[in-house]
Every structure is written in C-alpha cells, then in structure tokens.
Structure 1
Amino acid sequence: MSTPFFHPGAESPDGVLHRIFGFRSFRPNQEQIVRALMDGRDVFAVMPTGGGKSLCYQLPAVLMPGVALVVSPLISLMKDQVDGARSNGIRAAVLNSSLEFAEQSAVLRSLQSGELDLLYVAPERFALDHFRDILRGCRISMAVIDEAHCISEWGHDFRPDYLALSSIPEILPGIPVAAFTATATERVQHDIAWKLRLRDPFVLRASFDRPNLTYEVRFKEPGEVQLVSILKEFAGQPGIIYRTSRKSVNDTAAMLQKRGFRALPYHAGLDDRERHDNQDAFIRDEVDLIVATVAFGMGIDKSNVRFVIHADLPKSIESYYQETGRAGRDGEAARCILLFSQADIPKVRFFIDAMTDEAERQRALDSLSKVVSFASSTACRRRTLLDYFGETYPRDNCASCDVCLGLHELTDCTREAQMLLSAIVRTDSRFGAAHLIDILVGSKNQKIKDFGHDRLKVYGIGKEHDKKFWRRLIDDLLARKAIGRSEGLYPMLYLIESGARILRGEERVELVRIREKKGKSATTKRGGLDALSDAEKQLFEQLRTLRKRLADEQGVPPYVVFSDKTLVELSILKPSTRDEMLTVSGIGEVKLERYAEPFLRVIGEFVGG
C-alpha cells in the first residue's frame, strides 16, 4: 500500500469543484480541509450541519489515488450519500448489513480491484478480522470518520461500535485520517483526537453560526390549536416536529393526519419496515411532515427541510443545535421554533431521576438546566447558542431570532404576581397550579367549594385574565425562582425568598409576551422561495414536479437530482441552452448531461407559453 499523494499534473481542486459538483467557489473552510488531506495530513474538523462537510472528502477522494473509506453511523445516511456521489459521477459504494451476501462480495471485489473512489462503511466492520485483512491489501487514500463525536463517552451520542475505529492507524499506517463532527466541546474534541490517534492534525473549528436559520421560542399552549396554526404558516413545505415520547409522536401524527396534513410518525417503537418506509416517504417528498422522537434525524441528508419544531424540551443544547441543524441544509432560509413550558420540566426530570449512575444523572441535570435557561432567557438566541460552544457572536443584533426581531414585549405583571403569591400563602402551599388558577379566575368547580376556597379574598380576583395568562405567569415565576414546585405525582407550589420580596413589593415582575404579528411571519427571512415572483413560483413548482418524476424513475431522493436552491436559480435565470444551465449552482457536467434536456424543455415551454 502506497502513501497517498496528489500528482502536480492532475486536475486542480477548483476544476473538480466546478466540473463534478457544479460550484464556482468553495464554501468557507472547505478548501483548507481539502488541501490538508491532499497533503497527507490528519484532520479534525468541527463543522455545523449544512456546512458542506461531505465535499471536503469527496473532492480529494476523486483526485487522490486509491479508495477513500468513509465511516458513517446509519445505513440510510450512507445510501443517500452514495446516491448523491454517484449522481455527480463519483464511483461510490456502500458496505453494511443491509446488503445481501452477494452484494457485499461484489462491493469487496470493486474495493480490491481499485474501481471505487469512495466506500461508505459501518463502524462495526473494523472489529472484523476479515475486513481488516482485506483493507491491508488495498490502496486506501484516506479514512474519514463522520459523526466523530460518537467515539467519545463525553459526547451526546456515544456509540460503542465507534471504539473499534481506534485501530485504523494500525491497520492503515501512513494514510490521513479525518474526523468530522457537527458538535464537539473542547473536552470531546480532545477525546476524539486521542481515541483516533490523530497525528498533529490540521484542526478547524468552523463557526457554529447558521446565518440562514431563524430561532424562536414561544410559550407552549396546551391542545392542538397552536401547532396547527404554526404549520399553516408553512403551507406544504417539508418540516420536522420533535416530541419526547413515542405516544406523543403517534398522537400528534394522527391528529395532523385528521386535519389534512401529510404527516407520518417516526420512533424506535415502530417496526423496522414502517420506520424505514416513513423516513423514505419524507426524504422523497411524498409527505411534508415527519413527527419524531430524537431517534430521527442523524441519518437524514434531506437538504430542503424548511422548519424544525421542538414541541417538547430538547435534552441538551447539543441536541437542540444538531436537531435544528437539519433545517436549511441547502443554505436557504429556514426556521427553528421551540415551544417551551415549565410544565415540561418534570417530565424530563422523571427520566433523569431514574438514572442509576450519579455522574450521568448530574450531567443530564446540568444539560437540562442549560436548555431551560436558553428557553427562558430574553437574550439573543444566536449569541447564547454560540456562547455555549465557546464562540463569540460579533454583532449586537442578529436580526434573525425572536428576541432581536423584537417579537417580545415586557409587561409589568407585579400586581398579578402578588395575587398569585397571595393565593399560594392563603392555601398554605398545599395546592398545585391548576387549583390556584381556578381560585384566581373564580371557577365554580366542586373542589373549590369543598375546600371553602370560594370564600378567600383572592377568589375571582384575577378573572380579567384567562387561564393561559396565569399558566404563563406561573412558568415565569418558577424560572426566576420566585416560587418552587414540590416533587411527586401532585406537585404543589410554594414561595421562596424572591417570591416573598415580590409579595412585599420589593421586586417587580415583568412578563415577556409575544407581540401580535401581522401578515406573513416577521421571522421569515426573504430568500429562496420567498424571493420568487408569482410566475417564478409557478415555474419552480413545474420543475419540482419534474424533479420528483426523474428521482422516482432513478430510485433516489429528489434532492439528489437537484437541490431546491438549484431549482430556485433555474426559475429565476430560465436558461435556454446547456451552457447557460451549466452556470447554475449545483449543476456539474454529469448532471448537465443527465438532466439538461428535460429541464430545458420545461423551462422553454413555460417561457414560450
């Protein structure tokens, strides 16, 4: 096996970037990683989801002699990336347990005969002596570890199978090893480098900022109305809704189906076939919405997800960042909405309290605390996220989060807070939120009468506000630690010192409320589809229909044919020749040869009609 090299007389990286991938220039950081690998250096790169990570190793894999091994954690992700690479004319294959024995044998023969540029493999392969022996006899250009945080027990998604990858430098000495991850704290970064035995790696920590994403936190309202109202803002665009439990996934998906939305559930409790079919339907644009637990997403390469909704609290900032990162991978504008209520915290605590490992339990509590702080804060969401990953946001206003867009307003609610705190005191801190709210709004239910609470001075004193307002105020007082909530099946509210100061008039309470939005959501950035005229949108829909038909014929997801970004450019530029079409981002020579005729025909008919 030879040491990898790049022959000076070979095609340049810029030439391959244009010819194969259809891009005129590298995205930030891509070129440095490409050149480091072609110089034979190990690489450690932290790049956000949607940052163009796959090009960093696919491009040098084309230029360097031998086969690039890409270790990927999920079967569906491998297949999609192989489909994408092949659509650009790259010789790529996948080797995992989804293949029949004959198919695996054929892939191994292609590997041994040097007929591949890229081979995607599952991490558990490296624990097999037979596979290691085969690799030792092949010309391997580099080894790429995708989702590298999975090798670290300090990471948020540790996978024991990844530990076998520490043997790569021993099996394949002298080749560059590249570790890629979308999220890694400094501690996880050092752990990855140590376990993979990276040798003086080129280290790149790209900015964690995803400028095309808009972040928004809304107070979570009970029932179906809020979620349905949000989804109507997106009118058939693809999106992901995350829920905590399998039951809530099933219930939400069923509710949306009844209301006419094209939605499917996804969680680990579904059988393999249904889970695969539902994911496939989403990837292939056959449904608009996937309602899922966190089991969904790591293997998704769908580039045109326009929104991600967290209908329950995420378990950590890392999880939130990675899950929201599945929106807008094509670089077009996308939105991330978190529905937050303090009432969700005990649900998360229930699972944390069940942990037997004290250190693990403490880490989970710390992660939960940071998520709650993020959701409760009125500081710029982007700044808070970047600060978590050790990055300083350079501007005072990001102009793309609910806080910076001015969607919040502060209202003095000191008087209402004193009403609530007085109700807690007058009922001896023996009741929960629902009963206290019933007292304040003057409910006539039997429980109120049985306890004689209809005779309290505070009974009905807050009826000018609805129950939703009082629930929000309780959440706010819990967040500012003015009141506490007892543990157990029937948690009771009680005052703590800050609450006592509010009751005495020594502290004010200002409640953050969402301003009424008029017309189209103020949080939607203009760009992509929103930037198209009505006529251009008509053409875009015709091109999208054509893309879906071609993708179905080839058995690949639509975005493998062309991304939404490419369709938007085609709709605006309306090329009439192959040369003009080649100037559109995302169209290289192979895709031009494959798709020019049908797309130019549809564009020509639209312009001529």
Structure 2
Amino acid sequence: MTDTASLPTPETILKDVFGFNAFRGLQGEAVETVMNGEDVMVLMPTGGGKSLCYQVPALCRNGMGIVVSPLIALMDDQVAGLRQLGVRAAALHSELEQQDKEQLHQDLRSGQVDILYISPERLLQPATSAFLARYTISLIAIDEAHCVSAWGHEFRPEYRGLASLPELFPNVPRMALTATADPRTRDDLLNVLGMPNAKVLLASFHRPNLFVEAQPKGGETKQLLETLDNHKHGASIVYCGSRNKTERVAKTLRDKGLTALPFHAGLSPVEKRAALHRFRSGEDMVIVATIAFGMGIDRPDVRCVVHLDMPSSPEAYYQQIGRAGRDGERSDTLLLYGGEDMARARHWLDQSSAPEQEKRIMQSRLESMIALTETTGCRTRALLSCFDEHMSEPCGHCDNCIDPVSTFDGTQAAQKVLSAIYRTEQRFGAIQIANVLRGKLNETIERNAFNTLSVFGIGKDQSEAWWRAVIRQLIARGAIHMHGEHGALGLTTEIARPILRGEERILLRQDQKRALGHNTSEPVIDTLPDHARPVFSALRQWRLAEAREQEIPPYVIFHDTVLKEIALANPKDRLALSQIKGVGGSKLERYGAAVLATLEEQAS
C-alpha cells in the first residue's frame, strides 16, 4: 500500500498512534521479530498488551494486516478501539449489513484498510482467500491461538484449517497469540500451524493484582453473596458448569437486589448481544455464565470472578480468572469446590468416548486442577507451575499466603471413613457416612442396622462438616470415588488399601472457618424499648441453640436486625410473621413454629 522508504518505525507508531513512550515486557521483541519477516508465538497474560504486538507492525510493514479472531464481539470491539485512534480498521463477518459489506469491499479495493479482522471460517472460504490474496499482506495474526490446539481449553475445529495459511499467503509472517497455553498446547499449536521455526516469547503468567482464593463449598449461595457484597462497583463474573445453573443463580442474585444476567450458549443471538451490550456499557453488574462467556472480554474493571463449579483444567481456570483486573487494579477470584465436583468430573471423563491418549491428557489436567484446590502451599505458585513457571518465593496475594493452612495427621480419620464406606456396602453418600460415624440415628441407618456396626459413633467427637471435609480430601486423593445415580461413595482399592492397612500416613488440611465481622456499633438490644428486650433475648437464645444443633453461625438463621423486628412486632401467627422483612418462605416454613412458640412463652 505504501513505499517501504516512507513507512514509519514501530517507535513512531507506538508514540503517535497509541500514545506510549516505550514497549512493555516482550512487546518490543515480538514487534521486531515480525518486522524482520519471521514467525513468532507470543504468550502473555490477559492485560499484558498482546494486541499491540501485531497492531504496531501491521501499521509499519507494507500492506494490510490480517487478524484472525474467534468472536464477532471481539472483532467489533477491537475495530472500534482502533478507529478511535485513527487507524483504518475493519471487520469482515457474517453480521455485516449488505451496505457495510459493499463499503468494506470498496475500501479494500482502494487500499483504505490498514488492519482487517476476520473469523477463521470466513478467511478460509476460497472466494475470500482468493480475494485477499490479490493484496499485499503485511502480517497474519492469529489471536486466541489456543483454539487451534485440540489440547486447548477452548478448542475450535475450524481453527485447524489455518495450517493452510502459508500456501494461501506465502512469505507473510505469522504471529500466534494467547494468554494461556501449557507446554503440551504450545507444542501442538506450533505443529498444527506449521510454524516449527517460530520464535517463542513467553512472558510470566504471574498476575500480582489478582487475589487467588479457593474454599470448600459450605453453603454456595451464602458464600457467593458474601463475596459479591464486597464488589458492588464495577463488574463481577460468576462461572457455572451448566446453562440451567446460570439461570438459577442469576435469578437468586436478582431476588437479592443485584443486577445479574445469565449468559450461555443456549441464549438467542439477540439475548447474547443485549447482555454483552449492558456488560460493556460499564454498568455495575454481575454476569452469571458458562464458559461461553469467554474470549474477548475486554472490560477493565471486572473486580471479581467466582467459580461455583470446578473448571476442567488449570488452563481453563487461569483464562477465566484472567478476565478480572485487566486494569491492573486489585481484583478477587474465588473458586468453590467440593468432593462431588471432583468425583463427577472423573466419572464423566471415564465415560468419555475420546481416544485413550486424549483421555490421559484430560485426566492429567483434571488431577492438576483437583490438586490445586487442595494445596496447602502458595496457590499462585501451584497454578503457575502448571504452565512450567516456577516462582522462587510465595506470592503473598493468595489465601494460603495470607492465612496459612493448618494440617493434621488424618490417618485415623481416613481409616474410619474408608471403613464406614466399606461396612455400609459402598451404597451411600457423604451425608449418611458422616451420620454413621457420628452415631446419628435415622430411618436409613435403622433400616439397614448400621447402628450395630463397629464404626457407628466412632467419630461422634467431630461435626458433620469436619467429616465431610475428610471425605472430600479422600476423594481428591482418589481413594474414594462416586458411582450410581445417587452419588454413592465407593473405595478405589489400590489407593484405599494402603491407608486402611496403616501403610501410608495421611496429612489433611484443616478447613478454615472464615473470620466473622464484628459489629462495633451500638448493640441492638440497647436500641429496643424495655418491653421488647426480654423477647429479643429469648429469640437469641433460641437461635443460638438452633445454630449449635445445625453447626452453623447464628446469623445464618436470622440476623439480629430481623430478630429485633420480630421482638418489636410480636406477631401472633404465621401470616403476621411472614410480613417481617427477612422472613422468607423457606425460613417461615423451617422456623416459624419455633419462633411463635418462643414469643408465646414470653407472653405467658
């Protein structure tokens, strides 16, 4: 398009077009490699400035840059941003109006496009590639390049056709870019694209502004609401494992007064566009999504990413939490996990019809993800090791660094759990196993005469939550698996036997209870009139007893503010009680009779 002698330098473009005085990290080397006409693979974390690596040389080299991009929304965002900078950028995709398509073709013919964004499917159409081959192409950038690899976490088969690019566009340097690719994915990516001699530029995956936390599930909705309560400004993303769950969780959040929208592959194009539009508008909101809400999320102020279900691999997990804090500001990530998640993921993988080699690789990644949830060391260090990056010091910004995990010798506890599973014929789930160990009688236990077993009540000194934590960790180790329709626990003999025989010592993590906030303001009881104070005290005593029985914090049942309103209103029946803020249908059903009985006792 332009005489080589008149082409600007990368430094000039960087300063004049993008307003930066110098390249960051590996950007300069990536630009220089392409300027020399060589292929390069660039791996940088989200927010690391990958786009500049191809945008700058596309504007410096003779011809038009082609950027292969997976999503229309991502293309349109990039084009809009470049046009704000005065760059003649355009996107060619299926949603273009006929008038816009004709204008684009006219601009291409007259040399009025500097950078063209296009999907792999569109680029590889014979008519399109033949049309573009008429022009001088400065470079071809393959964005989100992990989609090329079958081992990548967002594999797209149509990307495999990009191997034909050297034949379609000979002597055009190529740049493959991604934020997450482990060593196996990188090798496969270079092999598929036919870039054996490409320079590989690997930046650190470490994101110091991300606080990385994982918690065992212990009341999913409560944990989610507590987390989101700290992030009322900006955006939050909540990832779920199924479409139905995204809809259900989004509704729960809306019922709690939050602006929350579901996003998944089952939505219509109109619904997806509407959600993306609201998200990109800067509105304070929560997107509850499957992994369909992924690539191309450029909003800089995502302050929080929560996983309600465990991702299938560290790659997928890192890609998704990477959508937080693109502006470099402190952002929080929380992964909630449970033994059922682990066992279910293993079961689905066992049932997969994938080739054995692929299943082994998927198994390896799944086990790395499970190990990441239960690690007692620096969580960031464990995550980065999955990408072959080794930190010399703990990160200082993950939950295990801030609040180190205690461990204990769990050999006997593990033996008790395994024995209970074996003696109950491997037919029951975690709740019943915990009941057997704690000596809690119920219909199932009596019907099966489990109260006559030697293991019945041998763990009564610990809570149900404690035993379920032991069970979860034994599932993580693979000593226990789930089977059947109802999630029954079974023994994995080769792993469980050495533990039962005492040949292997088991260290378990002591699950931490989150510190509860303390109200430093005036006590509620002091704000009540004299006649309501004894009623309030009686309600608190009832609540405390109920909380101890359920082994939950008292405020989970009712906040003090709710008990205050009950004491003041002194309702006489369920209908009146239901009118009090904080007494929903579920709590009315569960606690209504006890609350009314307490009030009646105080009145007598």
CA distance in 1, matches of 2:492, 2:79: 59
1:105 matches 2:121: no
Cα distance, 1:192 vs structure 2: 3.1
SS in 2 for 1:306: strand
- Asked whether the equivalents of residues 69 and 144 of structure 1 are also in contact (C-alpha less than 8 Å), the reply is yes
1:55 matches 2:49: no
SS in 2 for 1:308: strand
- Asked whether the equivalents of residues 413 and 509 of structure 1 are also in contact (C-alpha less than 8 Å), the reply is yes
Deviations 1:290-345 (A, max 9, x none): 11111111132222212211111101121112111111222222222111111112
SS in 2 for 1:492: strand
SS in 1 for 2:401: coil
Deviations 1:396-422 (A, max 9, x none): 211122222234222455565455445
Cα distance, 1:251 vs structure 2: 1.1
The worse-fitting range, judged by mean Cα deviation, of 311-320 and 485-494 is 485-494
Cross-structure match for 2:474: 477
Cross-structure match for 2:359: 361
**Unpaired runs of at least 5, structure 2:** 519-604
**Unpaired runs of at least 5, structure 1:** 521-609
SS in 1 for 2:100: helix
Cross-structure match for 2:119: 122
- Asked whether the equivalents of residues 112 and 137 of structure 1 are also in contact (C-alpha less than 8 Å), the reply is no
Deviations 1:91-131 (A, max 9, x none): 21111001022211211211221112211111112222322
1:322 matches 2:319: yes
1:339 to 333, 336, 340: 336
1:160 matches 2:160: no
Q: Decide whether aligned partners of structure 1 residues 172 and 431 sit closer, same or farther in structure 2, where only a CA change above 3 A counts.
A: closer
Cross-structure match for 1:586: none
CA distance in 2, matches of 1:194, 1:424: 48
Cα distance, 1:183 vs structure 2: 2.5
CA distance in 1, matches of 2:113, 2:172: 17
Cross-structure match for 1:151: 148
Report the TM-score, using the length of structure 2 for normalisation.
Answer: 0.78
Deviations 1:559-608 (A, max 9, x none): xxxxxxxxxxxxxxxxxxxxxxxxxxxxxxxxxxxxxxxxxxxxxxxxxx
1:400 matches 2:406: no
Q: Decide whether aligned partners of structure 1 residues 130 and 420 sit closer, same or farther in structure 2, where only a CA change above 3 A counts.
A: closer
1:378 matches 2:399: no
Cα distance, 1:33 vs structure 2: 1.1
Q: Decide whether aligned partners of structure 1 residues 20 and 419 sit closer, same or farther in structure 2, where only a CA change above 3 A counts.
A: same
Superposition RMSD in Å: 2.8
Cross-structure match for 1:514: 512
Aligned length, in residue pairs: 516
Q: How does 1:268-279 map to 2 (within 5 A)?
A: 268-279=265-276
Q: How does 1:97-246 map to 2 (within 5 A)?
A: 97-198=94-195, 200-246=197-243
- Asked whether the equivalents of residues 473 and 508 of structure 2 are also in contact (C-alpha less than 8 Å), the reply is no
Cross-structure match for 1:294: 291
- Asked whether the equivalents of residues 126 and 164 of structure 1 are also in contact (C-alpha less than 8 Å), the reply is no
Cα distance, 1:355 vs structure 2: 2.3
Higher relative contact order, structure no. (Cα contacts within 8 Å, ≥ 6 residues apart): 1
Q: Decide whether aligned partners of structure 1 residues 498 and 197 sit closer, same or farther in structure 2, where only a CA change above 3 A counts.
A: closer
The worse-fitting range, judged by mean Cα deviation, of 143-152 and 11-20 is 11-20
The worse-fitting range, judged by mean Cα deviation, of 493-502 and 111-120 is 493-502
CA distance in 1, matches of 2:484, 2:166: 51
CA distance in 2, matches of 1:58, 1:366: 37
Cross-structure match for 2:535: none
CA distance in 2, matches of 1:222, 1:509: 25
Cross-structure match for 2:278: 281
Cross-structure match for 1:265: 262
Cross-structure match for 1:436: 433
Q: Decide whether aligned partners of structure 1 residues 443 and 38 sit closer, same or farther in structure 2, where only a CA change above 3 A counts.
A: same
Cross-structure match for 2:559: none
Cross-structure match for 1:570: none
Cross-structure match for 2:386: 388
CA distance in 2, matches of 1:413, 1:367: 26
- Asked whether the equivalents of residues 38 and 60 of structure 1 are also in contact (C-alpha less than 8 Å), the reply is yes
SS in 1 for 2:323: coil
Q: Decide whether aligned partners of structure 1 residues 100 and 471 sit closer, same or farther in structure 2, where only a CA change above 3 A counts.
A: same
Cα distance, 1:481 vs structure 2: 4.6
Cα distance, 1:271 vs structure 2: 1.6
Cα distance, 1:136 vs structure 2: 2.3
Deviations 1:474-516 (A, max 9, x none): 1122333554545554423448577666667773544332264
- Asked whether the equivalents of residues 340 and 482 of structure 2 are also in contact (C-alpha less than 8 Å), the reply is no
CA distance in 1, matches of 2:397, 2:310: 21
- Asked whether the equivalents of residues 409 and 515 of structure 1 are also in contact (C-alpha less than 8 Å), the reply is no
CA distance in 2, matches of 1:113, 1:295: 37
- Asked whether the equivalents of residues 484 and 496 of structure 1 are also in contact (C-alpha less than 8 Å), the reply is no
Matched to 2:363, the amino acid is L
CA distance in 2, matches of 1:408, 1:288: 33
CA distance in 2, matches of 1:217, 1:361: 26
- Asked whether the equivalents of residues 313 and 344 of structure 1 are also in contact (C-alpha less than 8 Å), the reply is yes
- Asked whether the equivalents of residues 7 and 62 of structure 2 are also in contact (C-alpha less than 8 Å), the reply is no
2:34 to 33, 37, 43: 37
CA distance in 1, matches of 2:492, 2:119: 54
Cα distance, 1:62 vs structure 2: 2.7
Matched to 2:135, the amino acid is C
CA distance in 2, matches of 1:440, 1:396: 41
Matched to 2:308, the amino acid is A
Deviations 1:52-72 (A, max 9, x none): 000111122233332211110
The worse-fitting range, judged by mean Cα deviation, of 351-360 and 363-372 is 351-360
Q: Decide whether aligned partners of structure 1 residues 38 and 499 sit closer, same or farther in structure 2, where only a CA change above 3 A counts.
A: closer
CA distance in 2, matches of 1:102, 1:39: 38
SS in 2 for 1:257: helix
Matched to 2:297, the amino acid is I
Deviations 1:181-217 (A, max 9, x none): 2233444334433443437433212222222222211
- Asked whether the equivalents of residues 343 and 481 of structure 2 are also in contact (C-alpha less than 8 Å), the reply is no
1:84 matches 2:81: yes
CA distance in 2, matches of 1:498, 1:127: 50
Name which one, 1 or 2, has greater alpha-carbon Rg. Answer: 2
CA distance in 1, matches of 2:431, 2:389: 41
Cross-structure match for 2:447: 450
CA distance in 1, matches of 2:163, 2:312: 29
Matched to 2:468, the amino acid is R
SS in 1 for 2:213: strand
Matched to 1:292, the amino acid is A
Deviations 1:409-464 (A, max 9, x none): 22455565455445345535443322121223443432222223345565455455
Matched to 2:375, the amino acid is S
CA distance in 1, matches of 2:386, 2:512: 25
CA distance in 2, matches of 1:399, 1:390: 20
Q: Decide whether aligned partners of structure 1 residues 170 and 413 sit closer, same or farther in structure 2, where only a CA change above 3 A counts.
A: closer
Matched to 1:306, the amino acid is R
Q: Decide whether aligned partners of structure 1 residues 459 and 354 sit closer, same or farther in structure 2, where only a CA change above 3 A counts.
A: closer
CA distance in 2, matches of 1:475, 1:379: 18
Cα distance, 1:243 vs structure 2: 0.9
